[in-house]
Amino acid sequence: MKQSTRFNCLSLNFSHYVDNYSTYWILTHMILYVSMLTINQHTGKLMEKGEILNLIPTPEFDYTFLSFALKDYRYPRNKIGDLIRSKKIIRVKKGIYVKAGSQYSKFVLANMIFGPSYISEDSALSYYGLIPEQVYTVTSMTCNRKKYYETPIGVFSYNVLPIEVYSTGFQRISLDSKRAFLIATPEKALVDRLWRVKGLDNLSATKDYLFMNMRFSENTELPLSVKQFRELFKISKHKFITHLIEIFSKA
181-192: pLDDT as tens digits: 999 999 999 999
Whether residue 248 has pLDDT greater than 70: yes
pLDDT at 131: 93
Share above pLDDT 70 across residues of the chain, in percent, rounded to a whole number: 78
**Across the chain, what does the average pLDDT equal?**
83
Of 13 and 174, which is predicted with more confidence? 174
Query: What is the pLDDT averaged over residues 74-89?
Result: 88
d(CA 213, CA 219): 18
3-state secondary structure (DSSP) of residue 12: helix
d(CA 178, CA 105): 12
Residue 69 is assigned to a structural domain of this protein: yes
C-alpha dist (Å) from residue 33 to 50, 56, 65, 217, 242: 17, 10, 9, 47, 51
Residue 72 is assigned to a structural domain of this protein: yes
Whether residue 42 has pLDDT greater than 80: no
Of 40 and 182, which is predicted with more confidence? 182
User: Quick check: 138 and 154 in contact, CB under 8 A?
Assistant: yes
pLDDT band at 8 (very low <50, low <70, confident <90, very high): low
pLDDT at 34: 54
pLDDT at 41: 46
pLDDT at 27: 52
Residue 65 is assigned to a structural domain of this protein: yes
Whether residue 222 has pLDDT greater than 50: yes
User: Quick check: 68 and 29 in contact, CB under 8 A?
Assistant: yes
Q: How many residues does the chain have?
A: 251
Residue 176 is assigned to a structural domain of this protein: no
Query: pTM, whole model, 2 decimals?
Result: 0.83
From 68-77, 113-122, 189-198, the region with the lowest mean pLDDT: 68-77
Query: What is the pLDDT averaged over residues 220-232?
Result: 87
Strands 170-174 and 154-160: unpaired
Whether residue 47 has pLDDT greater than 90: no
pLDDT at 23: 45
Residue 161 is assigned to a structural domain of this protein: no
Whether residue 39 has pLDDT greater than 80: no
Residue 116 is assigned to a structural domain of this protein: no
Q: The dihedral of CA 195, 197, 199, 200: what is its sign?
A: negative
Query: Domain of 80?
Result: 2-99
Residue 49 is assigned to a structural domain of this protein: yes
pLDDT band at 15 (very low <50, low <70, confident <90, very high): very low
Residue 168 is assigned to a structural domain of this protein: no
Domain count, the chain: 1
d(CA 245, CA 235): 15
Whether residue 180 has pLDDT greater than 90: yes
Whether residue 55 has pLDDT greater than 80: no
